[in-house]
Amino acid sequence: MNDVSRGGSPVHRRSKAGHRWEGVDCLPYKEDEQARFKAISRQVLFSDPVLAAELRFFEVAPGGFSSLERHQHAHAVLVLHGHGQCLIGREVRRLEPHDLVTVPPWTWHQFRAASDASLGFLCMVNVDRDRPQLPSQEDLTDLQADPSIAAFLGALSHDGVDRVEDTKSKETRGLDLVTSRRDGRRFFGKRPRS
Amino acid sequence: MNDVSRGGSPVHRRSKAGHRWEGVDCLPYKEDEQARFKAISRQVLFSDPVLAAELRFFEVAPGGFSSLERHQHAHAVLVLHGHGQCLIGREVRRLEPHDLVTVPPWTWHQFRAASDASLGFLCMVNVDRDRPQLPSQEDLTDLQADPSIAAFLGALSHDGVDRVEDTKSKETRGLDLVTSRRDGRRFFGKRPRS
């Protein structure tokens, strides 16, 4: 038995310049015309059958942001570099390197890089997790009633929602972003046959 | 419902100077006379009932080192700062900031800071995990037969084992470091009644 790797995955992967790693694919998000400056990439640092959680690294370019969403599973976030802000529930917080952020279940959240700095953060999540839920117009109206949240969301598109998701992710592979006719919520799923 | 915290745990904990965090206890390891310079502290950054894994931060002072051990559960390590080396199985690797290290199940491993620099690393582990196993004299003899491993272990005590463990840890709380009369292995358990 080779002690040093298993399943072809080496035990030591060196850091490279620009917050990249040996043997780790960098998965870009598509740019969305309606959600300007959404410039975010994802790298899965640890994903292993013997681990109950994954550790991912997200890099948000200046002015970029992650999806505004919520879900049953929690996030455990550590800022690795840069500056920005996050919305967690109804709190907007400024983020500095090595800050910790907990996203509890069913809590609206979004991460945004500063306009003049990138934001790179680690995010730990359970391997078994549910799909994100996107806000309905009613949810957005409710959030935007708070001036600090409205300001946080201000640079977003008209409805604050990023419409183009990373379809390479485990959660969304092969799924469409669907709007429910019942309650207006958007989620990842199979588009109903017409 | 308060969106911002649950169970008294705030969603945002700021980084402080010296690789510390707001609201995170720093748990020192005891110094061991037989294992000089073992100077390592532990901070549990994320531990939550809804998370299947924990994220801890270990800070090893210059010349310090973690226990040489193995277990069924795996480690997912990201170096946050500093320099040092690790032994993973039979490989000795130099560590730089942001390097990734996977410790597969049942693989001997130890992390050592450089003599002139500290080593700080994040370690993700499953919440449900087994207790570490320490090397027997036979295991050590086998490891030390490799010159690079012998050099790596060289600064350790005569048998390469740290005898004083952090008894505050979840795994070892209330347990003693016991040496098996059968095979010489040491493990955490209840000391046999004499």
For residues A1-29, average pLDDT:
77
CB contact under 8 A, B124 and A46: yes
DSSP string, A155-184: TS-TTS------TTSTTTTT-EEEE-TTT-
- Locate tokens 């199940």: which residue? B105
Decide: A65 and A37 in contact? Cβ < 8 Å: yes
Q: What is the pLDDT of residue B114?
A: 95
Choose between A175 and B75: higher pLDDT. Answer: B75
Least confident of A77-86, A136-145, A185-194, B83-92: A185-194
Q: Coil, strand or helix: which one is B87?
A: strand
Decide: A164 and A35 in contact? Cβ < 8 Å: yes
Please state, in angstroms and rounded to a whole number, the distance separating the CA atoms of residues A118 and A59: 7
Q: Among B4, B102, B149, which would you mutate to test the A interface (most chain A Cβ atoms within 10 Å of its Cβ)? A: B102
Q: What is the pLDDT of residue A27?
A: 83
Mean pLDDT of chain A: 80
The minimum CA-CA distance between B54 and chain A, rounded to whole Å, is 9
Q: Among A2, A9, A12, A24, which would you mutate to test the B interface (most chain B Cβ atoms within 10 Å of its Cβ)? A: A12
Q: What is the pLDDT of residue A168?
A: 37
Please state, in angstroms and rounded to a whole number, the distance separating the CA atoms of residues A62 and A182: 37
Tell me: pLDDT of A180 over 60: no
So which residues of A are the catalytic ones?
A: 123
Choose between A8 and A117: higher pLDDT. Answer: A117
CATH of domain A21-160: 2.60.120.10
The minimum CA-CA distance between A124 and chain B, rounded to whole Å, is 8
Please state, in angstroms and rounded to a whole number, the distance separating the CA atoms of residues A56 and B55: 13
Residue of B nearest to A76 (CA): B46
Tell me: pLDDT of B1 over 60: no
CB contact under 8 A, B98 and A122: no
Chain A partners within 8 Å of B108 (Cβ): 3
pLDDT tens digits for B148-180?
999 999 854 434 334 333 333 433 444 444 454
User: For the purposes of burial, counting CB atoms within 10 Å of the CB of A19, is it exposed (0-12), middle (13-18) or buried (19 or more)?
Assistant: middle
Length of chain B: 194
What are the extents of the domains in chain B? 21-160
pLDDT tens digits for B111-132?
999 999 999 999 999 999 999 8
Q: What is the pLDDT of residue B194?
A: 41
Please state, in angstroms and rounded to a whole number, the distance separating the CA atoms of residues B38 and B29: 8
Least confident of A36-45, A113-122, B170-179: B170-179
CB contact under 8 A, A74 and B51: yes
Q: Are strands A27-28 and B133-134 parallel, antiparallel or unpaired?
A: unpaired
pLDDT tens digits for B3-60?
344 555 679 999 999 999 999 999 866 445 444 347 889 999 999 999 999 999 999 9
The minimum CA-CA distance between A52 and chain B, rounded to whole Å, is 6
- Locate tokens 């050592």: which residue? B112
The minimum CA-CA distance between B49 and chain A, rounded to whole Å, is 10
Please state, in angstroms and rounded to a whole number, the distance separating the CA atoms of residues B191 and B179: 9
Q: Which residues in A71-191 belong to E strands, given as ranges?
A: 75-82, 84-88, 91-95, 100-103, 109-113, 119-126, 133-134, 176-179, 186-189
ipTM greater than 0.85:
no
Count how many pairs of residues, chain A against chain B, have C-beta atoms within 8 Å: 166
Tell me: pLDDT of A137 over 70: yes
CB contact under 8 A, A51 and B53: yes
Tell me: pLDDT of B91 over 80: yes
Choose between B101 and B180: higher pLDDT. Answer: B101
Please state, in angstroms and rounded to a whole number, the distance separating the CA atoms of residues A124 and B108: 25
The two structure tokens encoding residue B158 = 């005569």
User: For the purposes of burial, counting CB atoms within 10 Å of the CB of A69, is it exposed (0-12), middle (13-18) or buried (19 or more)?
Assistant: buried
Chain B partners within 8 Å of A100 (Cβ): 12-15, 21, 24, 45-46
Decide: A109 and A68 in contact? Cβ < 8 Å: yes
pLDDT tens digits for A51-92?
999 999 999 999 899 999 999 999 999 999 999 999 999 999
Q: What is the pLDDT of residue B69?
A: 92
Q: What is the pLDDT of residue B4?
A: 46
Confidence at A110, pLDDT banded by 50, 70, 90: very high
Q: Coil, strand or helix: which one is A147?
A: helix
